[in-house]
Amino acid sequence: MTIIQAIAEYEGFNEPHTRAQRNNNPGNINFAPWTAEQFGAVLETIPAGINEQPRFACFPTVDQGWSALRTLLTKDYLGMTLIAAFNKYAPPVENNTNEYAAFVARETGLQLEDVLTEENIG
């Protein structure tokens, strides 16, 4: 399994009706100008009855969501250790970063001190 596949699994992308799936966003990437410019994303719309604040990118297609995740990791995280990358990608102020990084390591067969490469990113 690649890093982007493990991220998608952790984010619940493979489960029906999750935020990641609703938004075609396997990495639950925050909406930002680059997501709109490069991949046609818009700010997510939260369905009625769900208590969430809009913040994530909603991509027009699943393929664009996968491409955005791959682009983000390759552009901003390439060469970082897995643990350093997850401290940036899923910071401890809003995530259980150690659990997230350990999950990705377990699923990919990597160690926390292994470096992100284009090959293991996916």
User: Do 6 and 102 form a contact (C-beta atoms < 8 A)?
Assistant: no
Domain ranges of the chain: 3-15+22-45+55-121
Query: What is the per-residue pLDDT across 55-78, written as a single tens digit (0 to 9) for each?
Result: 999 999 999 999 999 999 999 999
pTM, two decimal places: 0.95
The predicted pLDDT at position 52 comes to 85
User: What pLDDT band is residue 92 in, cutting at 50, 70 and 90?
Assistant: very high
The predicted pLDDT at position 47 comes to 86
How many Cβ atoms from other residues are within 10 Å of residue 105's Cβ? Answer: 19
Average pLDDT over residues 20-41: 98
pLDDT of 48 over the 90 cut:
no
Sorted by sequence, the CB contacts under 8 Å of residue 67 that are 6+ apart come out as 39
Helix axis angle for 82-89 and 62-76, nearest 10°, is 120
CA distance 78 to 40: 24
The predicted pLDDT at position 113 comes to 98
The predicted pLDDT at position 86 comes to 97
